[in-house]
Amino acid sequence: MTSDTTADVAHEENDDPRASFRVDTLPRGLRSALEDYVVRVRRGDPGGLPAVLGLLVIGVLFSATTPLFLTAANIGNLMSQASFIALIALGLVFVLILGDIDLSAGATGGVAAGFAAQALRSGDLHHAVGSGVYTALILGMALAAALAIWKRLYVAGALILAGIVLLVTGADETHVWLAFALAGSIGVAIGVFNGVLVTSLGIPSFIVTLALFLTWEGVTLDAVNSQSIGTSNYKPWFSMTHDNMSAAQGWIFLAVVVGGYAVSTVLRQQRRARQGVSFDRPALTALRVGVLAVAGVLVVWWFNQNRNPNPGPAIKGVPWAASVPVAFMVVFTIVLARTSWGRHLYAIGGSREAATRAGIAVDRVRIGAFVLCSTMAAVGGLFLADFSGGAQPALGQGNTLLYSVAAAVIGGTSLFGGRGRPRDAILGAVVIAMIPNGIQLHPGLPISVVQEITGLVLLVAASVDAISRRRSRNA
Partner 1 sequence: MTDPILRVEGMNKSFGAVHVLHDVDFAVYAGEVTALVGDNGAGKSTLVKCIAGINSIDSGQIYWQGEPITIASPSVASSLGLEFVYQDLALADNLDITQNMFLGREIRQGPFLQDAEMETRARETLRSLAVRTINSVRQPVASLSGGQRQTVAIARAVLWNGKVVFLDEPTAALGVAQTRQVLNLVRRLADNGIGVVLISHNMNDVMEVADRIDALYLGRLAAEVLKKETTTSQVVELITSGRSGSIGLAAATAAQSA
Within residues 28-47, the interface with partner 1 by CB under 8 A covers 43
DSSP letters for 77-146: HHHHHHHHHHHHHHHHHHHHHHT---TTHHHHHHHHHHHHHHHHHHS-HHHHHHHHHHHHHHHHHHHHHH
- 397 contributes a contact to partner 1 by CB under 8 A: no
Using the contact rule CB under 8 A, the part of the chain among 9-17, 203-211, 379-387, 451-459 near partner 1 is 9-17
Nearer to partner 1, 55 or 415 (CB): 415
Q: Give the x-and-dash track for 414-453 against partner 1 (CB under 8 A).
A: ----xx----------------------------------
Nearer to partner 1, 19 or 53 (CB): 19
- 350 contributes a contact to partner 1 by CB under 8 A: yes
Whole-angstrom Cα distance, residue 328 to residue 422? 9
- 207 contributes a contact to partner 1 by CB under 8 A: no
- 214 contributes a contact to partner 1 by CB under 8 A: no
List 175, 242, 272, 442, residue binding partner 1 (CB under 8 A):
272
Whole-angstrom Cα distance, residue 433 to residue 127? 38
Which neighbouring-strand residues pair with 28?
Answer: 280
Which neighbouring-strand residues pair with 244?
Answer: 319
Residue pair 412/39 in contact by the 8 Å Cβ criterion: no
List 37, 261, 346, 387, residue binding partner 1 (CB under 8 A):
346
- 349 contributes a contact to partner 1 by CB under 8 A: yes
- E strand or H helix at 284, and its extent? helix 282-303
List 358, 456, 460, 466, residue binding partner 1 (CB under 8 A):
358
Say whether 360 sits in a helix, a strand or coil: coil
| Amino acid symbol at 16 | D
DSSP letters for 374-443: HHHHHHHHHHHHHHTTSB-TTTT-TTHHHHHHHHHHHHT--TTSS---HHHHHHHHHHHHHHHHHHHT-T
Using the contact rule CB under 8 A, the part of the chain among 22-30, 53-61, 65-73, 440-448 near partner 1 is 22-30
- 475 contributes a contact to partner 1 by CB under 8 A: yes
Nearer to partner 1, 396 or 411 (CB): 411
Nearer to partner 1, 97 or 145 (CB): 97
Using the contact rule CB under 8 A, the part of the chain among 16-24, 139-147, 148-156, 392-400 near partner 1 is 16-24
- 357 contributes a contact to partner 1 by CB under 8 A: yes
Nearer to partner 1, 132 or 359 (CB): 359
Among 98, 93, 198, 48, smallest CA distance to 418 is for 98
- 53 contributes a contact to partner 1 by CB under 8 A: no
- Residues belonging to the chain: 475
Q: Give the x-and-dash track for 252-271 against partner 1 (CB under 8 A).
A: -------------------x
Residues that bind partner 1 (CB under 8 A): 1, 5, 8-9, 12, 16-24, 43, 271-272, 274-278, 338-341, 343-344, 346-347, 349-351, 353-355, 357-360, 418-419, 472-473, 475
